[in-house]
Amino acid sequence: MHALKVAYKASIHASTNQTPAILEKGWNPRLTQDSSRKELVEIHPTASSFKGVLEKARNNAVRCMEYSFAYAKEKWDKAHATPDLKVGYFLLLSTTNFNNIKRFKKSQRLL
């Protein structure tokens, strides 16, 4: 929990454009990621290639999801398009749902 507090207080907030630690104490706490030197960190070639494979897989998944969303939107828009009806067209209406309408008896009417 302490690490979470430190991370929260060291992050810049959008409402104040400053960190809560600066507003409270006037200074930011030092984090371990700030003190480690980046040039001394050595990345193993296998880890680097695995990172590349993961990035390619993620990019492929994002591309597939975008294609899937576009395909679904196109199909939905095509199925839900308003029909172009004009006066004089003959239409076939199904009356199966009209038979299921419950009708009020005279004693049940609210009038």
Q: Does residue 108 belong to any structural domain of this protein?
A: no
What's the predicted TM-score (pTM) here?
A: 0.42
pLDDT tens track for 15-31: 888 888 888 888 877 76
Q: Give domain status of residue 97, yes or no.
A: no
The residue written with tokens 């004009």 in the block is 86
Average pLDDT score over residue span 19-45: 75
Within a domain: 66: yes
CA distances from 12 to 7, 19, 21, 27, 29 (A): 10, 4, 10, 13, 13
Let me know if residue 70 belongs to a domain.
Answer: yes
Residue 7's domain comprises: 1-41
Non-local CB neighbours of 19 within 8 Å, separated by 6+ positions:
9, 10, 11, 12, 13, 28
